[in-house]
Amino acid sequence: MSPWVYKGVILFFSVALCFSVENWLRSRQEMRAVTAANESLRKTLGKLIVAISEKDREIDRLSGPSCDVGDPVKPLIPAPKSRGL
C-alpha cells in the first residue's frame, strides 16, 4: 500500500479517538453534576427528616395528659339523658 493510505488511516483513527475522548469527558462532567445534585438533595432530605422528627417529638410531648392522672376525663359534650321507655 502507498504511504498516503497509511497516513489517511492514521488520521481517521486519530480523529475518531479525539471524538471518543471528548464524548467520555462530557459524560464524566455530566456525572459530576448529577453527583453534586444528589449530594445536595441528600443533605436537604437529611435536614427535613431531622425537622420532622423534632416536630413529632414536640407533638408527642404536647399530646400527653394535660390534667392529673387521677381525674377522670370529662367529655366536652354531655351525653343526652336517657328517657325511660
pTM for this predicted structure: 0.51
User: Could you tell me if residue 67 is inside a domain?
Assistant: no
| Full domain range(s) for residue 24 | 1-59
User: Could you tell me if residue 65 is inside a domain?
Assistant: no
pLDDT of residue 50: 95
> How many structural domains does the chain have?
1
Query: How far apart (Å, rounded) are the C-alpha atoms in residues 34 and 26?
Result: 12
- The model's pLDDT over 70-84, given as tens digits with 9 standing for 90+, comes to 556 666 676 677 665
Cα angle for residues 70, 58, 69 (degrees, 5° grid): 0
User: Could you tell me if residue 81 is inside a domain?
Assistant: no
Residue 41 has pLDDT above 80, yes or no: yes
